[in-house]
Amino acid sequence: MPSHDWQKSTYCQEGDACLHVAASGTAETVHLTESADPSHSILSATPAAFDALLRALKGDDRG
């Protein structure tokens, strides 16, 4: 299993529930994981899908 260079969300406060994001070495895949997940599940998405997720979360419907 490849290792990832995880970056913690800037919105993460103290505690266990934080979102971590990592890009693949070729930047073709974005990986997401949640620090409080005991199964250490990793969601993988394309950069375009990750951008759409961020726009939806921010309420920015321009796309």
Question: What pLDDT is stored for residue 49 in this prediction?
Answer: 94
How many other CB atoms are there within 10 angstroms of residue 17's CB atom?
A: 10
DSSP state of 59: T
pTM of the entire structure?
Answer: 0.72
Report residue 1's pLDDT band, with 50, 70 and 90 as the boundaries: very low
Task: Let me know: does 6 contact 23? Beta carbons within 8 Å.
Answer: no
- Domain ranges for the chain, please list them: 7-57
Report residue 51's pLDDT band, with 50, 70 and 90 as the boundaries: very high
Q: Residue 15, SS3?
A: coil
